[in-house]
Amino acid sequence: MDTVTDGPGEAVIPELVIISGMSGAGRSTAAKCLEDLGWFVVDNLPPALIPTMVDLGARSQGNVARIAVVVDVRGRRFFDNLKQSLADLAQRQVKRRIVYLEASDEALVRRFESVRRPHPLQGDGRIVDGIAAERDLLRELRGDADLVIDTSGLNVHELRAKLDARFAGDEEPELRATVMSFGYKYGLPVDADLVADCRFLPNPHWVPELRPYNGTSPQVSEYVFDQPGAKEFLDRYAELLQLIAAGYRREGKRYVTIAIGCTGGKHRSVAVSEKLARRLSGAGVETVVVHRDMGRE
């Protein structure tokens, strides 16, 4: 294996985080949190392949600067290779951190029973037998961990907040928004987090010269926002969304879908969605606009 160094004109060694710990303690949540913070995440990577992954990241010309790998007992036949991989990384001066997630036996048993799944190491025994075997297997790794988090009394949001504080750096966690227009006659979007109703505004459908156009057309947008209450609605809803967005960031929520509805999803909701998306983008929220029902009529 070639040694990759960090110097002028040479490949840059990516930063590495190894996520491990007890099954049921929150490894998947930790991996998703780092992914949302911009890390390249690989789940259940055989430990012997970690140095290879670092090499591939180093050759990506800076596109993969931070790598997180999840190592757990699902790959236990490869687990003995972890010690050798860590030694190899240390010799090559790769900056790496180990995050170890654990929880009490009671909390882990409760979590496995709630999802009605066996512990990966319990075999023909009980869940507590699998937990005991896993603790013994991971004991040395826990001792080498840079960050140990006990998730026994943490919910998902609290765990994400701890990881954000450790890995987000000085950057505020990003929020990505999808603003979706829709027509009530086609049903509510099932993936909407927030829903607003534009049917209090006059419908351009009943204006003959506007009926053929949709809400992306300047003439339709101008008509909609000339109506009483339209601009006030946009201003106040945008302000409310800024308040909600700040709360979402604090709670570790990274994605939000905002649905704006009118009768057919062609005129009013489209025009409002376009304006609202521009407001959110201007406020620093990464925003995508989707017009679910435009063109269905």
Residues that constitute the known binding site: 21-28, 72-75
Give the span between the Cα atoms of 202 and 98, in whole angstroms: 58
Copy the structure tokens of residue 111: 């979590």
Could you tell me which residues are annotated as the binding site for ATP? 21-28
Bridge partners for 42 per DSSP: 69
Residue 55, classed as helix, strand or coil, is helix
DSSP letters along 74-128, please?
GGGGGTTHHHHHHHHHHHTT--EEEEEEE--HHHHHHHHHHHT---TT-TTS-HH
Give the span between the Cα atoms of 53 and 70, in whole angstroms: 12
Could you tell me which residues are annotated as the binding site for GTP? 72-75
| Angle at the Cα of 101 from the Cα atoms of 97 and 106, rounded to 5 degrees | 165
Listed in sequence order, the residues at least 6 apart from 80 whose beta carbon sits closer than 8 Å to its beta carbon are none
**Runs of H (alpha helix) within the chain:** 27-36, 50-58, 81-91, 105-115, 127-144, 156-167, 218-225, 230-250, 268-282
Residue 209, classed as helix, strand or coil, is coil
Q: What is the DSSP letter of 221?
A: H
Instruction: Report whether 109 contacts 23 (CB < 8 A).
Output: no
Instruction: Report whether 120 contacts 74 (CB < 8 A).
Output: yes
Copy the structure tokens of residue 118: 């066996």
